[in-house]
Structure formats: C-alpha cells, structure tokens
Amino acid sequence: MVDEATPVPYGRKTQHAPKVAEVHILWLTAGLSCDGDTVSITAASEPSIEDVLLGAIPGLPKVHLHNPVLAYAVGDEFMQIFHRAARGEVDNFVLVLEGSIPNEKLSGEGYWAALGSDPATGEPITTNEWIDRLAPKALAVVGAGTCATYGGIHAMAGNPTGCMGLGDYLGHEWKSKAGLPIVNVPGCPVQPDNFMETLLYLLRQLAGLAPMIPVDHLGRPKWLFSNTVHNGCDRAAYYEQADFAKEYGSQKCLVKIGCWGPVVQCNVPKRGWISGMGGCPNVGGICIGCTMPGFPDKFQPFMDEPPGAVFSSGMIRPYGAIIRNLRKITNHTLNKEPKWRHNEPVLTTGYRPQ
C-alpha cells in the first residue's frame, strides 16, 4: 500500500498516479531535415497514426496532432497552438522534434532554421527558440529520426551549421516537467512502427497505465534497440558458416561488401519496414548504421568492408569451414529415408507382435 506522503513516480500504475485525459502532440519539423520521418509514420500499423488520433485504442488520452506536413490548418491558424503552449496555456503536450538542431550562435546576422514568426515583432522564431520555449513545459520530449536524436547527416564533419541532436542541445541528463528523460527513436528515416509504438507507450504512461518508459543511456527504448541488426538478420547463419557474399544480389552474409549489421543496434531486419516487409538486409541492402550516434561519419565509406569485419571474418573462416562440412554430412544423412520404408513382404520396422 502506498503511503499518502510518499511521492509516486510519474506514470506508475496506482490510484495516486496522475492521469492525463487529453494530450496535444506539437511536432516541430523545422529542424534540419527532409520531413522523411513524418512521411514514414504514415505507414505505421502497430499502431497506426489513425488509430491513435481517432481513439481506437482503449485507455489512451484523447490525442491532437499538430504537424505542419499533416495538418489541415496553415499559417497563423496552425501556429496558434504553438504560441499558446509557449505561453503556458496548454497544460498537457508532448514535444516531438524532427531534424537536427543548428547552432544559432554560429549563424551570424541570419538564422539557420525557423518556424513561424513572433506576433509582436514579426521576426522569424528559430527552431532553437521554439525548443527553449516549449521543452520546459512539455510532459515529454521525443526525437523522431537520427537527425533529431544525434544530428545525423546534417551534423557530419565539415557541416557549416554546427548542428546537433536533442541530447547535445538540452543536455543528456535533461528531464521533462513530468520527470521523463529525452526519448530518442533513431532511424534515417525512423522505422514507422518503432516510433508509433514508442508514442503509444508514452501515451499509456501519461494515462497512468504504464511505468516509466525503459530507455538506454542514449535515450533509445530498450525493447526496440537492445539487439543488433545481426541478431535478427535472416543472413546471420551464413556469417556463422563464414559464407560471405562477394557481390550484391547474393542471399549470403553481406559483411564483406560493407554491412555493419553485427555491431549496429536496430530491429529493422526482425520487424521489417511496412507490415513486416522490407528492411535493409532483408532486401539485399547493407546496414550503414543509420540508427547509431556515430552515423554517418564512423561508417564511411559505406560500400567498403568494415575494418572490424576483416579481422572477425578472418577468425571465423576455419570454424565456418568445419561447420559447413559437418552440416553437409548431417544434411546428407537427413535427406535419406529410413531403410524400413519399402514395398517388400517382410516387416523390418522393428515391430514385435505381443
């Protein structure tokens, strides 16, 4: 039994847990981005964005989505909810960021990225300003895609914007007003069901139906990003047997032609892309590590064999050769029917009448 004086962690399923009946999702696509993550989530089915918004999932708060790519409203009408939230007039909202965050301290007299304008001054409101205004008031802050989570392609070496991900900007130990850490769902773009499943978990937590969302030290949902591409890859058995593809189009392990799957945390080969179909190695593409903080710099050049693969694949070759030959022998044996299956007048199955 919970003592009335004991503070209850936000979202714990008890009679004292705060419950939110209505949630606004303020989705900023004004980071440095291609809007690919927004496009991606329209393909989600577990759950679909329609199921969440239309209240088809029991127990969830009523959800209002404000995303400039998916909105009916435009211009000042669309921006009203953002201004109201910044003034503290919207109690319950989740801030979702898509795109990397530029360093406006380096933008000189201009700005790198902005959304809308200040009603009082008419000046553009930068993406950084929106984050500064909204993040402290949000129940949760979510990064959608690798650009928002870790900087992504825009943050690679040589970029002029000094851009970064949410953790770099807000601080990796940052917590929302509800006590939630930054929740990062990487991917370039984000896998649609990964994002919607994470959002579903957060909504259930805000409704008092789930405990604190389990994330790793980089803010990634643990149940989605604990395993590597290799763990769920249909080609993994070929690696074990040191049977590597030498060219694209092969069904064998792709490590020797550039796949980073053994060390990249991503569930796409297991989950597929849309309705269980697709996913990089599933359709013959190499893993280039797009869910990782080191992407893209640490994975280039993409089509070359990863440095670690040279050593590991070399070490596994003798073992793989033995395994392949032993399995051929076993396979040959298992492809033979037992000798008692014949059309002769003598029973040789070993049966003895009582």
Looking at domain 22-224, its CATH architecture is 3-Layer(aba) Sandwich (3.40)
Q: Tell me the pTM.
A: 0.86
How is the chain split into domains, by residue range? 22-224, 227-335
> One-letter amino acid identity for 152?
G
Per-residue pLDDT of 148-159, as tens digits, reads 999 999 999 999
Q: What CATH code would you report for 227-335?
A: 4.10.480.10
Determine the straight-line distance between the first and last CA of the chain, rounded to whole angstroms: 66
Picking from 98, 46, 102, 32, the residue whose alpha carbon sits closest to that of residue 70 is 98
Per-residue pLDDT, 16:
37
CA distances, 70 to each of 74, 166, 230 (Å): 10, 23, 35
d(CA 247, CA 256): 9
Q: Is 92 helix (H, G, I), strand (E, B) or coil?
A: coil
d(CA 28, CA 135): 11
Class of residue 78 by CB neighbours under 10 A (exposed 0-12, middle 13-18, buried 19+): middle
Mean pLDDT of 222-236: 95
Instruction: Please tell me what DSSP assigns to residue 198.
Output: H
pLDDT at residue 4 tops 50: no
pLDDT at residue 71 tops 50: yes
Q: Is 174 helix (H, G, I), strand (E, B) or coil?
A: coil
Per-residue pLDDT, 307:
78
Average pLDDT, the chain: 91
Per-residue pLDDT of 255-298, as tens digits, reads 999 999 999 999 999 999 998 899 999 999 999 999 999 999 99
**Of the given ranges (100-114, 131-145, 262-276, 309-323), which has the lowest mean pLDDT?**
309-323
Per-residue pLDDT of 197-220, as tens digits, reads 999 999 999 999 999 999 999 999
9 band by pLDDT with thresholds 50, 70 and 90: very low
Peptide linkage before 301 cis (omega within 30 of 0): yes
Per-residue pLDDT, 5:
37
Transcribe 265-324 into DSSP letters: B--HHHH-SBTTB--GGGGTPPP--TTSTTTTGGG-STTSPPHHHHHHHHHHHHHHHHHH
pLDDT at residue 3 tops 50: no
pLDDT at residue 7 tops 70: no
